[in-house]
Amino acid sequence: MIGAGYGLGAAALFGASAPLSKLLLGHAGPLIVSAFLYLGAAAGLFILQRVSSRVSIAKEAALRGRDFALLSAITILGGIAGPILMLYGLTRVSALAGSLALNLEAPFTIIIAVVLFREYLGSRAILAALLIIGGTILLGWAPGSLRADSLGIGSIAAACLCWGIDNNLTQRLSLRDPAAIATIKAAVAGLTTLTIAFAIGMPSPGIGIGLAALAIGSVCYGLSLYLDVLALRMLGAAREAAYFASAPFIGAILSLAIFRMLPGTAEWIAAASMAIGVALLIRENHNHAHVHDELVHDHLHYHDRHHLHAHLAGESPHEPHAHPHRHSALRHAHPHVSDLHHRHPHGG
Ligand SMILES: [Zn+2]
Ligand SMILES: [Zn+2]
Ligand SMILES: [Zn+2]
Ligand SMILES: [Zn+2]
Ligand SMILES: [Zn+2]
Ligand SMILES: [Zn+2]
C-alpha cells in the first residue's frame, strides 16, 4: 500500500511535468528544457539530501565502493545511452509514432524483471499491467501521422530497453540511500542532454525560462526519481513499472485543465482501464508460506520479526536505522511482493 503510494506519486509528478514543460517549449528548444529539468532535479535532490541529513535521525544505507559497477551501468544505460537513442529515434519518426513507441519501457521492464530477476507476477498482476499499459497506449493514440522508419523505431525501442535494464538494476541498488541514487541519475541525464543540445547548436534559454525549468525539474523530476527508487525497493521493478505507466494519465488530466479541453470517449475509456488496473494491483494479496534464505546486507530497518539481530555498542538505538546485519533463514507465511527479500520460486 505504501509502495503503491510511492509508485503513483512518482508517476503523478513525472506525468505533471509534461504539460508544465509544454508551457516553456514556446520559449526554448525541447532538448534545453529537458536538460534543465534534469539539472533542476539534481539540484533539488542535492538540497533534499543536505536538509534530511540535518533533521532526520534515520540514515539510509550509504552507497559504497562495490556499488560502483552497478551505478556505472545504471548511469550509462539510463542517463546517457537511453536519452541519446531516444532523441535520435524521435528525429526519424512522427511525434505520434514516437510517443507510442516510448510505451515499450514498461513491458520491457516487466519482462526483464520476471525473466532475469525472478520477480513474480500472478495472472491478476499481469492483467493489471496490461490494463494500465493499454490505457496509456489509448491515451497517446490520436489522429495523426504514424510515419516511422525501422531505424527510428529501433532506436526508440533500444532506448526503452536501456531504461528497462536501468529500472531493474536500480531495483538491485534500491536498499541504498534513494536520494543519493536519484541525484546521480538526474545529474548524468542532465549533463548528457545539455551536451547534446549545445553540440547541435541550440541557444541557451533566457534566465526566466531557465529558472522555471529548474524549478519544475526539482519537483517533478527530482521528487519523482526519489519516490521511484522507494517504489522499486518496496514493490520490485515489475510492479513499479506498472504503476509508473499511469504517468501520462496525470499529464492528460493536467493538460485538460491547463489548455481548457474536455476529455473525449477514448480518454474516458483509457482512464477507466488504468483505474481498474491500478485497483487490481493495489488489492493484490499474495500470501503463502515461503523461505527467506540467510542473507547478510545493509539497509534501513525496524526491528520486526525479520530483524531480531543484536546490536554492537556503537550502533544507534533509534529505529529505523541502517547497518550491516544478518537475516537468518526463516520459513513462514505473510503477504509479500517481489522485493529484494522475496525472490522465491512459485509453482507453474
Ligand atoms: Zn510468493
Ligand atoms: Zn534485508
Ligand atoms: Zn534487514
Ligand atoms: Zn518474512
Ligand atoms: Zn538493527
Ligand atoms: Zn517473506
171 vs 248 pLDDT, higher one? 171
In single-letter form, the type of residue at position 277 comes to G
Q: How far is the CA of 126 from the centre of ligand 6 (A)?
A: 21
Q: Taking residues 313-320, report their average pLDDT.
A: 80
Q: Are 46 and 286 in contact (CB under 8 A)?
A: no
Residue 127 has pLDDT above 90, yes or no: yes
Number of H helices, E strands in the chain: 14, 4
- If asked whether residues 277 and 313 sit together in one domain, one would say no
- If asked whether residues 50 and 157 sit together in one domain, one would say yes
ipTM above 0.90 for this complex: yes
Q: Taking residues 113-117, report their average pLDDT.
A: 96
Sole residue written with cell 526508440: 156
Residue 328 has pLDDT above 80, yes or no: yes
In single-letter form, the type of residue at position 272 comes to A
Residue 1 has pLDDT above 80, yes or no: no
* Average pLDDT of the chain to the nearest whole number: 91
Pick the closest to residue 63 from 200, 149, 181 (CA basis).
181
Angle at the Cα of 275 from the Cα atoms of 271 and 279, rounded to 5 degrees? 175
Number of domains in the chain: 2
In single-letter form, the type of residue at position 5 comes to G
Residues bordering ligand 3, an ion, CB closer than 5 Å:
301
For 86-100, 178-192, 222-236, which range has the lowest pLDDT when averaged over its residues? 86-100
Pick the closest to residue 113 from 337, 347, 348, 329 (CA basis).
337
Q: Is residue 117 part of a domain?
A: yes
Q: Which ligand is nearest to the CA of 340?
A: 2
Structural domain that includes position 301: 294-328
Q: How far is the CA of 246 from the centre of ligand 4 (A)?
A: 30
- If asked whether residues 312 and 171 sit together in one domain, one would say no
Q: How far is the CA of 174 from the centre of ligand 3 (A)?
A: 13
Under the banding of pLDDT at 50, 70 and 90, the label for residue 348 is low
- If asked whether residues 120 and 196 sit together in one domain, one would say yes
Give the Cα separation of 229 and 51 in Å (integer): 19
- If asked whether residues 238 and 300 sit together in one domain, one would say no
Q: Which three cell numbers stand for residue 229?
A: 527508487
Q: How far is the CA of 341 from the centre of ligand 2 (A)?
A: 6
For 25-29, 117-121, 223-227, 271-275, which range has the lowest pLDDT when averaged over its residues? 25-29
Radius of gyration of the chain (CA): 21
Sole residue written with cell 492528460: 252
Q: How far is the CA of 128 from the centre of ligand 6 (A)?
A: 23
- If asked whether residues 317 and 262 sit together in one domain, one would say no
Pick the closest to residue 152 from 78, 219, 100, 105 (CA basis).
100
- If asked whether residues 222 and 305 sit together in one domain, one would say no
In single-letter form, the type of residue at position 167 comes to N
Q: Is residue 220 part of a domain?
A: yes
Q: Is residue 348 part of a domain?
A: no
Residue 96 has pLDDT above 80, yes or no: yes
- Report CA 291 to chain centroid distance, whole Å: 29
- Domain termination residue (choose one: 237, 255, 287): 287
55 vs 209 pLDDT, higher one? 209
Beta-strand pair 287-292/330-335: antiparallel
Q: Are 130 and 277 in contact (CB under 8 A)?
A: yes
- If asked whether residues 68 and 148 sit together in one domain, one would say yes
Q: Taking residues 105-134, report their average pLDDT.
A: 95
